[in-house]
Amino acid sequence: MRRLWIWLMCLALLPLCAAAEEPLPVREYEFDHRAYRSYDSETLKYKMETFNVHGVRCFLTKVWMADPGKQIRKATADWKKNIQYPKAMTETIPGAALAINGSGYWSPAYPDVPEEYPGQVSDYYYTPWGSLTVTDGEVFRKLELPFYGLTLEADGLHMYNGADPEEVLRAQPSQTWSFRNLCPLQENGQVLTPRDWHFAEVKARRTVIGRVDRNNYLLFSVSAEGGLGLTLHEVNSFFQKHFEVEWLFNLDGGPSSALIARKKDAKKMVRVMGGKAKDIDVMAFTELPQAE
């Protein structure tokens, strides 16, 4: 009986042990440039670098968080009502130090709702792409269609490539971000992007995020300085040449692209790239909230 009691106690403590798992260290990369901007605290560190790829100015932000599940945040425009400037949305998130644009969205100007989605096209105006939308734990949309996108779960961001929304919800995500069905770009070193996908062949401004490990992420922001931008094939080639990622996902781009940052002792966020067009949501990175 005593052995059974000890065994049950060990099982009960497993979740606490997992929650107390030590963070992985800040990742060092061979691809390294001088810091354009940086942020350094005990729970959040980022180094933003800028350089040219095929003549186009790009920004790579190397991010480390002590507990990504608690430090990645989302802010959104009003459901089915409007879109908002990314900087304004970011400023509603306490302690945000870095942010990028998030999901694609539908509107009268961008009405390309997939044919398999039920209802009228106008039913989806001013809502994000994706068969599943979760914000702060509340489910706003759940269709019986595969989900392609990112979720924020207890241990950080996860990428889903055509998953059943019920399966996704079993992981208890607090947030989702989504774009077109083929926007999962890489998984475990394998490129997922079809060579004949026209969207991937167009040079454009881009916002791409990759997970290196549970504490380290890469943000790749492609501007239109020096050209029209990069194709997704060029983005894939850049990452395969320089980095090993668990996964890589293409968020909304073009005019929606935004990279916003704040220096450690500054109060205001500053647009580093893009951010002049309104978006449906943003992904922000904060220091670890203090326990109450």
Share of the chain above pLDDT 70, in %: 92
* Cα three-residue angle 132-233-207, rounded to 5 degrees: 50
Residue 20 has pLDDT above 70, yes or no: no
Average pLDDT for 155-171: 98
Q: How confident is the model at residue 106 (pLDDT cuts 50, 70, 90)?
A: very high
pTM: 0.93
What is the C-alpha to C-alpha distance for residues 69 and 161, in angstroms, rounded to an integer?
Answer: 20
Share of the chain above pLDDT 90, in %: 90
Residue 202 has pLDDT above 60, yes or no: yes
89 in Cβ contact with 101 (< 8 Å): no
105 in Cβ contact with 128 (< 8 Å): yes
Token readout for 231 is 């194709």
Domain ranges of the chain: 36-116+179-286
Residue 146 has pLDDT above 50, yes or no: yes
pLDDT at 7: 43
pLDDT at 291: 65
Residue with the larger pLDDT of the pair 148 and 292: 148
Phi first, then psi: give them for residue 48, nearest 5 degrees: -105, 125
Q: How confident is the model at residue 265 (pLDDT cuts 50, 70, 90)?
A: confident
Residue 240 has pLDDT above 70, yes or no: yes
57-61, 262-266, 277-281 — which is least confidently predicted? Answer: 262-266
